[in-house]
Structures are given as C-alpha cells and as structure tokens.
Structure 1
Amino acid sequence: MWFRNIHFYRFEDPFDLTGQQLHEALAKHPARDCGQMELFSEGWARPLGRDGQMLVHETNGCLMFCLRREDKLLPASLVRERVDEQAFAIEQQQGRPVGRKERMEIKDRVLQELLPRALVRSSHTYAYIDAKGGWLIVNAASAKKSEELIALLRKTLGTLNVVLPQTDLSPEAA
C-alpha cells in the first residue's frame, strides 16, 4: 500500500509502546458498524484487512494501524424538504406559523425517521509510527481526517504529544 497524502507529526516525547502494547490499547476501541440511530461510528481496524489478525502491523521498527469510520449519508436537502413538508402541513391544519423551536423538534423527528434507513459510507485512514525517528505519519487527504485519527489515538492512549514539524523554509521556497 502506498501512502499518497502524507501528514507528518513529530513526537514531543519518545514513543515507547511495542506493537503488542499498541494492539492491546487499540483493541479497547475496535471498529464497529454504525448503530441505527448514530450519525457515525469510528474505531480501529486491522491495517492488513482480512489478511491480518492484529490491529497493528509491525515491520522495520514501524507500527502501522488503521482508523475505520462509518458515516450515515443523509442529504441536508432531503431533511430540509421533509421538515418543510411537515411544517407546511401544520400551518395548513392549525392556521398558524411554525416557530423555530417547533421546527427543530420536527427536524429531530425527521432525523429519527430517516437515520435507520440511511446509507452508510465506510472510510479508512492509515497511519504509522516510526518510534526511532520520532514521527507519526498519517495518510489522509485532508487535515480534518488526520486530526480525527489523532484525536481517537489520543483518546485511546490517554495522551499523545505530537506537533506539526517546524521548518525554516516553506516547501514552496525550498
């Protein structure tokens, strides 16, 4: 597997967990399917897919792992349309305008109705730790995806002191 979109983070403190210790920590937050009423779920998956048995693949002193996230796909336009329909029906039946608070309650009911039937999109974000070099390398197309992985890793491990590397020159100037 090739990493195409790399985000580098430098460890401020030495990373001293072994592959087995990291596996045991990640096993506390395994990937699972999205529940009926959840907008998303996230957890750690096997980086080698069905071929792997561990949540960490260790090679050449590096530890590779994978975040799996499932998101329910509910187009905002569909939700808005259903809310507008129900608000219009109330206005017609009761002859009064629907207020903001009532509109939010309608939206909650619509979400409860649509969530169990929503399509689910699954995504994987891979990363590896080079403990000797002091790097966390995340393969993510956006900083947001990278931060999601770091946030869950921080929650899983209890602490994770990583920072973006500081350079004297910008990449464009080099």
Structure 2
Amino acid sequence: MWFKNLKAYQLTQPLSLDDDDLSRMLMDNAFRPCGKQDTATMGFASPFAQAGKEGVMFHKVQERYWITLKKQEKILPSSVVNAELADKVAHIEAETGSPVGKKQQQDLKQEIIFQLLPQAFVRNTFTHGFISIPEKMVVIDASADGKAEAWLACVRKAIGSLPVVPLARHSLQSELTHWLTDGAPDGIELLEEAELKSTDDLESVIRCKNQPLDSEEITMHLDNGKLVQKVGFAWQEVLTATISEDGSFKRVKFTDRLKEETEDVPKDQVEARLDAEFALMSAELCQFLDFMRTTLKLNDD
C-alpha cells in the first residue's frame, strides 16, 4: 500500500467520524458489479480486498481513515462495434439498394451495443484515499482530477458532507521557479528533471531529464521568462516525486530505507502488512504535505 500519485485537499471545517456510522454509510453505497446492460458501476469496497477480506468498508490508523472506491467498466472496443455496424449497413444496402442514413446508422449502433454489452469483458479499477482528522487533510492516490473528484463526490454523498479545498488554490509557477533561481527550501533536493513554459502567446514548453537544473541552458530559459511547470525533487530520505504547478504530485516513490521498516511483517500476512504499510505511509505523507503547506505558504490562501 504505497500511493504513487497525490491529490491533496484541506478540510475547511472540523470533521467528526463515528466508526459504526461510517461503516454503515459506506456499506449503503457499496460496490455492485455491472448488470447486463450497465456500462459502468462504482461504489465502495474493502481496502483489504486483495487480502481476501470483504465487508470491512474502511481501515483506520490514528484517526486516518483509508477508504477505497471501486469502479467496474464494460470493455467494448469501438473497432468491434464499428465492424459490426459496417457489416449490418452493407447487408441492408445490398438488400434495399439504398444508402443507410446517419440517423439509421446511429440507431443500428445502439442496437449493436445493447446486444454486445452482456458479453463484454469488464475492467476493475480502485481509487484509494484517506481522511486525516488530526491534520485536516484528504489525500487521494490519483494522477487525474477526474478520479480524485469521483472519490470525493462518492465519499461526500455517503457521509453527507466533506468540506475540502485543494491544498494549493493558486498556481505554484512562481514558487517552483524560485526553487531553481534562488535555491530549494531546506529538506528539498532538486533532481535533474523539470518542465518550463513560456508566458507568451506561443506557450512554448521545454522538458528536460537527466539535466542539471543549475546548468547554463536552464538558466538561459529562466532568464528569458520561462516559468517552472513541474520539477522533480527528493524530500529528506522519505520519497521522491514531481510537483506540478497545480500542487499535485506524481511518480511518488518511497525510499527503500522507509519501506524496510515494514520488512519484519511476513509477506504471507497480507492484511497485517497492508496495515503496517498504510500506518507508515499515511503518517509520512501527512508530515510531507504539512511541510509543503508551510513551505509554500498554502495556509495563506
């Protein structure tokens, strides 16, 4: 249980969760598989599903609530639908001697989808997130806004309220640019990866990898007015990641030194191992995000 991407939010009001009520509310919105004609379904699942433990709708460690959203989608490739449609259109035109109009083709396409949906393969995806009551934070393992917003919307619907705002409510271009021009904050080590963007109408973008960020080439781009959109960094000896100007973090990798702290839990004890990993990871992420909140002055927004 190690998050790979972070979408972080701040609670704007105190939140109190009762374990029994939360379990009941999540169960009322539990995942159900797709029916014959469903294209997708979404609902809450056990965070320990991979350990074979169903029915546990959340996991709590020191007032940090781990909640998992499961989505199931029918996989119906457009190439399959279009091939079936082409065959039907060709057959009708051969029988009638008249072309099939767009409206009729759309109706035929819907009929084909209706017929094929019960036979379609399904794909299951999971979105993990946790609510930290002490730190007044919500952290979601998602690289895209849509997945994070779906998690927030489903939790909000289930528990009635989840008053949050993004951790960063303004672009961090200026702050991240200062990391390159004036030096990174204490505790942050810049890695050799960044994305710079011009502020003119052309919006030209420079992406660099394995490139020292204090090189003349990068300095020239900064002197010409480009601002930092993304930059890779290491935080203390805990993790590496890239931070984007919208305050999201991607390609999060926790250090071996940190992961070794759970090595004493046998790998065959999956539930115990997940518990230990979540406890360690969530605590470190809360410290990291609080550091970022303070360093980037996000409390001032």
Q: Give yes or no for TM over 0.5.
A: yes
Q: Does 1:29 align with 2:29?
A: yes
Q: Is the CA contact 2:40–2:74 (under 8 Å) kept in the aligned structure 1? A: yes
Q: Is the CA contact 2:43–2:70 (under 8 Å) kept in the aligned structure 1? A: yes
In the alignment, which of 169, 172, 176 is matched to residue 172 of structure 1? 176
Percent identical pairs in the alignment equals: 28
Q: Does 1:48 align with 2:76?
A: no
Partner of 1:73: 75
Counterpart CA distance in 2 for 1:26 and 1:162 is 19
Stretches of structure 1 that go unaligned for 5 or more consecutive residues are none
The higher-RCO structure (CA 8 Å, 6+ apart) is 1
Structure showing greater radius of gyration is 2
**How far does residue 19 in structure 1 lie from its aligned partner after superposition?**
2.8
What letter is aligned with 2:105? R
TM normalised by structure 2 equals: 0.54
Partner of 1:162: 164
Partner of 2:6: 6
Counterpart CA distance in 2 for 1:120 and 1:4 is 24
Counterpart CA distance in 1 for 2:54 and 2:90 is 54
**How far does residue 57 in structure 1 lie from its aligned partner after superposition?**
0.5
The SS at the match of 1:27 is helix
Partner of 2:97: 95
Counterpart CA distance in 2 for 1:92 and 1:52 is 54
What letter is aligned with 2:91? A
**How far does residue 62 in structure 1 lie from its aligned partner after superposition?**
0.5
**How far does residue 33 in structure 1 lie from its aligned partner after superposition?**
1.2
What letter is aligned with 1:172? L
Q: CA RMSD in A?
A: 1.8
TM normalised by structure 1 equals: 0.91
**How far does residue 172 in structure 1 lie from its aligned partner after superposition?**
3.2
Partner of 1:86: 88
Counterpart CA distance in 2 for 1:41 and 1:105 is 24
Q: Is the CA contact 2:9–2:164 (under 8 Å) kept in the aligned structure 1? A: yes
Q: How does 1:145-156 map to 2 (within 5 A)?
A: 145-156=147-158
Partner of 2:109: 107
